[in-house]
Structure 1
Amino acid sequence: MTYEFERKQRLAILGGGPGGFEAALSGAQLGADVTLVERVGVGGSAVITDVVPSKTLIATAEATNAIGEAADLGVQFFTRGENGRPVRPQIAVNLKAVNDRLLRLARQQSEDMRAQLTRARVRIVQGEGRLDGPSRIVVSTGHGRGATTFDEIEADTVVVSVGARPRELDTAKPDGQRILTWTQLYTLDTVPEHLIVVGSGVTGAEFASAYTALGSHVTLISSRDQVLPGEDADAARVIEDVFTRNGMDVLELARAATVERTADGVVAALTDGRRIEGSHCLMAVGSIPNTEGIGLEEAGIQLTATGHVRVNRVARTSVPNVYAAGDCSDFLPLASVASMQGRTAVFHAMGDAVTPIELRNVTSNIFTQPEIATVGWTQKQIEDGIAQGEIYKMPLASNPRAKMMGIRDGFVKIFARTGSGTVIGGVIVAPKASELVFPLALAVEHRLTVDQVARAFTVYPSLSGSIADAARAMHIVN
């Protein structure tokens, strides 16, 4: 008598960022034989040099702002001077301690994720990986005295999740000391006296906001007529007003031609002839996918003109058994999207139930102060006739809890389908908007109407009450 045993499906993942991590966990959950190849550490750049450290820095900046604004709520900080009279102390930021903490938290998060994979029986291979055809990954690892060994991993399904890196310009080459990318900021020991930020997209705006709160004088160079181009115009206007009110110099319709290091700082030369001198410069001019030289095109995988991997809504590439997740794909570059792509890819590859990713349901957040959270269709798409909807905007300053907290800036905006009142999108500008937007995300995902949202009880007083109030104002008369 002979027995036949079904072989476990072999899953190989190249890159251990949010997409690769979730793909590995999902594969292990479904019983696959999973191998994860990672170059720098589990969590990838998102955990080690990007999302985790940057949002930790921003949390410190928020604490600094809270202390500075406490006087508006009647809380005052004083010490006694030599003459016994009260002296108001200055807020001091120990940037070295801040950076040491955030890097420690990033390492700990990476180690926690690695331990989670180990418990799930995922094999982790440290090294440089590349595809050798659509069903094999070759990994080079260094072992003792510079020797290089190669590990070949055969797979039935491959998930590519190699992420992206900061884009660098030849005319403004980062040196890691004065001219910096966002991955290099954490080497600074002191708060920059004058930080020039080139690029007013999400990354540039977030760091400009944070370093202003930490005590830097910030000059933000924007090549467009507003900060955060492509975002909700009302939201961008609020953020720019806050920036300028807090002392930031915002240069619109300005483009940096070169950034050069001087004896004690940097100078940015603009294309209109102006020269901006500062102590440091952050280059926030986009990112480049880490897809070159790893055998993708040789394996038959289609890339875009920018080097991103073309994927469909289940993260599948042009090669049936190869999937891609995260910033290396041509989908939305968010950690949450990468995680969803990783799970979706593995579920699809292994025949489990899967719901194709709908980009319009993705919730995103910009961690400025205040934050901007968005979901669903945009106001511009409604105004351009791409989507049919009604728009209602409620200032946050009218909310009782906001008044108690001294919040002056922000709003809740809801978009509802004309006729049916189905919620199709929304924007929230508020402190912790990332936490407030979830009800709108649920409404968009499950096609709730404004009346259904309004019928849910909210705490009084609460900032979330503004969501119910805005929904109530859009009541559909039957």
Structure 2
Amino acid sequence: MRIVIIGGGPGGYEAALVAAEHGADVTLISREGLGGNSVLWDCVPSKALIVSAEAMGWMQSAKRLGVRLEGGHDLATRTEIDMNAVMDRVQGLAFNQSADISKKVGRTGVEIIEAEARLLDPQTVEVEHRGGRSYRVSADIVLIATGSNPRTLPGCEPDGDRVFTSRELYDLRELPERLIVIGSGATGAEYAHAFARFGSEVHLISSRDQILPSEDPDAAAVIEDSFERWGMVIHRRKRAADIERGADGVRVETTEGEWVEGTHALFCIGQIPASGGLGLAAAGVHVTDRDAIPVDGVSRTNVPTVYAAGDVTGSMMLASTAAMQGRNAMWHALGQAVTPFRDDAVAKCIFTEPEVATVGMTAEDIAQSQVPVRTVSLPIARNPRAKMRELSEGFIKLHAMAGSGLVLGGAVVSAQASDLIAPVSVAVHNRLSVQQLAYAFTVYPSISGSLQEAARQLMDRA
């Protein structure tokens, strides 16, 4: 079978690996290095940046842990950030990861082409190289995995000097003295957290009463408290309307007429599916008025030979989601057994400090549910391992169905929450009970022990 994949992000390259493993003839066309937004501009670089920010946080706690410089000097007072070195490391990691993915995919026999591509019909792709050379490729199946682009406001476009989105941010070589972050969702919160730890004066503009509006309200409250204790100013119930740039800084005007002044501004107001210029209309592929390509549980579009995966579908814009959609598309196209994609089983994490990881049913879902649900929430501060590490913020929360004890979801707000959510994710995906989760062994002392304890308590309540 001949498969052509347009887009080299997680949805594209994971699909290519699966298709090649099943003997398909695969061509992957990407306008940039493999990895897409996730590896080159978003997930990998942003999380690498946050690791440097966490190191600054470690310096703050070193004295309490008995670690200090020779002569008794406090590490926190002698530490500063080298933004140039941080960005060099971040960009190096991103490009190295992209190169590693290219080698891995290439070893499977996939043909990788760096070019633009568009559909001429449901089974014909036109490839256009930068030099102007173009040709056509026939395909039995086409997968669209072109990702998304940062959303901007008219008149507030990034210039790479004072105004940024995540695309331009990594060219920044000096620490912003006063950074305005517009948008308080996951991306805005992560960058605000990082630069506050680096030492910037951060102003976070949030359109809601509480930051992280899509997350567990208790988790959002923990992060808000952490932000404000680090000196961040949160401008609640405000939206950016305009921006003025000067030689020494910027001013952001909100819809309420307030002006927020800073040296730099970073827009984190969402992503727009990158579906333009792909010839989708010529192929008869339906696109929503928000530029998304709707798909079913196995990543099919309305055209039988065209599949789509990742951000371009407008669903959860996560690397893990894109990868699973891409794999599902290939398994289904190649006649393999496949489990339809389940939104309720997607684990996600916000890499603030503490991290916020969730899976399954949310507090909002529970409030609207007709099913009786029991919840247990345990503070991280009571966990013995957390005490050793001086972790005082956060909690572990589990939701289970009353009667059966079926695990419906959970939230972990803690250091390494991105790893700690895994057992809950397995339980939700496999429809395990709290009894099964409670009977599993955990290491003592470990923060995961609190997951087991929460499950044990739910055995009685559920």
Give how far 1:66 is off: 1.0
Residue matched to 1:296? 280
> For residues 30-74 of structure 1, what are the alpha-carbon distances to aligned partners after superposition, in whole Å with 9 as ceiling and x for unaligned?
000000000011111211111111111011111111122222222
Preserved CA contact (<8 Å) 1:420 1:476: no
1:348 and 2:332 aligned: yes
Residue matched to 2:59? 67
| Equivalence map 1:270-289=2 (5 Å) | 270-289=254-273
1:94 aligned to which of 62, 82, 94: 82
Q: 1:79 to 1:279 in 2, by over 3 A?
A: farther
Return the letter of the residue paired with 2:81: V
Preserved CA contact (<8 Å) 2:68 2:75: no
| Equivalence map 1:115-134=2 (5 Å) | 115-134=103-122
Residue matched to 1:328? 312
2:41 aligned to which of 25, 38, 49: 49
Residue matched to 2:69? 77
| Equivalence map 1:379-418=2 (5 Å) | 379-418=363-402
2:194 aligned to which of 202, 210, 230: 210
Which SS does the other structure have where 1:191 is aligned? coil
Report the Cα distance in structure 2 between the residues aligned to 1:97 and 1:106, rounded to whole angstroms. 14
2:154 aligned to which of 147, 164, 170: 170
Give how far 1:380 is off: 1.4
Residue matched to 2:409? 425
Residue matched to 1:30? 22
Give how far 1:86 is off: 8.8
Preserved CA contact (<8 Å) 2:40 2:95: yes
1:180 aligned to which of 148, 161, 164: 164
> For residues 274-299 of structure 1, what are the alpha-carbon distances to aligned partners after superposition, in whole Å with 9 as ceiling and x for unaligned?
21111100011111111012111221
1:141 aligned to which of 129, 133, 150: 129
| Equivalence map 1:456-475=2 (5 Å) | 456-475=440-459
Give how far 1:414 is off: 0.1
Preserved CA contact (<8 Å) 2:206 2:236: yes
2:9 aligned to which of 6, 11, 17: 17
Q: 1:78 to 1:263 in 2, by over 3 A?
A: farther
Report the Cα distance in structure 2 between the residues aligned to 1:43 and 1:88, rounded to whole angstroms. 36
Which SS does the other structure have where 1:132 is aligned? strand
Report the Cα distance in structure 2 between the residues aligned to 1:333 and 1:158, rounded to whole angstroms. 21
Which SS does the other structure have where 1:219 is aligned? strand
Residue matched to 2:290? 306
Report the Cα distance in structure 1 between the residues aligned to 2:232 and 2:323, rounded to whole angstroms. 35
Give how far 1:89 is off: 4.3
Residue matched to 2:93? 105
| Equivalence map 1:184-195=2 (5 Å) | 184-195=168-179
Preserved CA contact (<8 Å) 2:273 2:314: no
Which SS does the other structure have where 1:327 is aligned? helix
Return the letter of the residue paired with 1:312: D
Return the letter of the residue paired with 1:44: G
Preserved CA contact (<8 Å) 2:68 2:74: no
Give how far 1:399 is off: 0.6
Return the letter of the residue paired with 1:357: F
Give how far 1:92 is off: 1.1
Q: 1:170 to 1:78 in 2, by over 3 A?
A: farther
Report the Cα distance in structure 2 between the residues aligned to 1:201 and 1:209, rounded to whole angstroms. 12
Report the Cα distance in structure 1 between the residues aligned to 2:293 and 2:402, rounded to whole angstroms. 37
Q: 1:387 to 1:43 in 2, by over 3 A?
A: farther
Report the Cα distance in structure 2 between the residues aligned to 1:332 and 1:273, rounded to whole angstroms. 33
Residue matched to 2:350? 366
> For residues 405-424 of structure 1, what are the alpha-carbon distances to aligned partners after superposition, in whole Å with 9 as ceiling and x for unaligned?
10110000000011111101
Which SS does the other structure have where 2:215 is aligned? coil
Which SS does the other structure have where 1:114 is aligned? helix
Give how far 1:387 is off: 4.4
Which SS does the other structure have where 1:381 is aligned? helix
Q: TM-score, normalised by structure 1?
A: 0.94
Preserved CA contact (<8 Å) 1:196 1:219: yes
Return the letter of the residue paired with 2:292: H
> For residues 287-321 of structure 1, what are the alpha-carbon distances to aligned partners after superposition, in whole Å with 9 as ceiling and x for unaligned?
11110121112211111220100000100000011
Preserved CA contact (<8 Å) 1:17 1:45: yes
Q: TM-score, normalised by structure 2?
A: 0.97
Report the Cα distance in structure 2 between the residues aligned to 1:38 and 1:445, rounded to whole angstroms. 32
Return the letter of the residue paired with 2:13: F
1:156 and 2:144 aligned: no
Q: 1:156 to 1:216 in 2, by over 3 A?
A: same
Report the Cα distance in structure 1 between the residues aligned to 2:96 and 2:11, rounded to whole angstroms. 19
Query: What is the alpha-carbon root mean square deviation over aligned residues?
Result: 1.5
Report the Cα distance in structure 1 between the residues aligned to 2:455 and 2:179, rounded to whole angstroms. 41
Report the Cα distance in structure 2 between the residues aligned to 1:31 and 1:312, rounded to whole angstroms. 25
Report the Cα distance in structure 2 between the residues aligned to 1:36 and 1:45, rounded to whole angstroms. 16
Q: 1:150 to 1:69 in 2, by over 3 A?
A: same
Residue matched to 1:263? 247
Return the letter of the residue paired with 1:313: G
Q: 1:422 to 1:106 in 2, by over 3 A?
A: same
Preserved CA contact (<8 Å) 1:68 1:91: no
> For residues 98-132 of structure 1, what are the alpha-carbon distances to aligned partners after superposition, in whole Å with 9 as ceiling and x for unaligned?
11111111111111111111110000111111111
Q: Which runs of 5+ in 1 are unaligned?
A: 1-8
Preserved CA contact (<8 Å) 2:399 2:408: yes
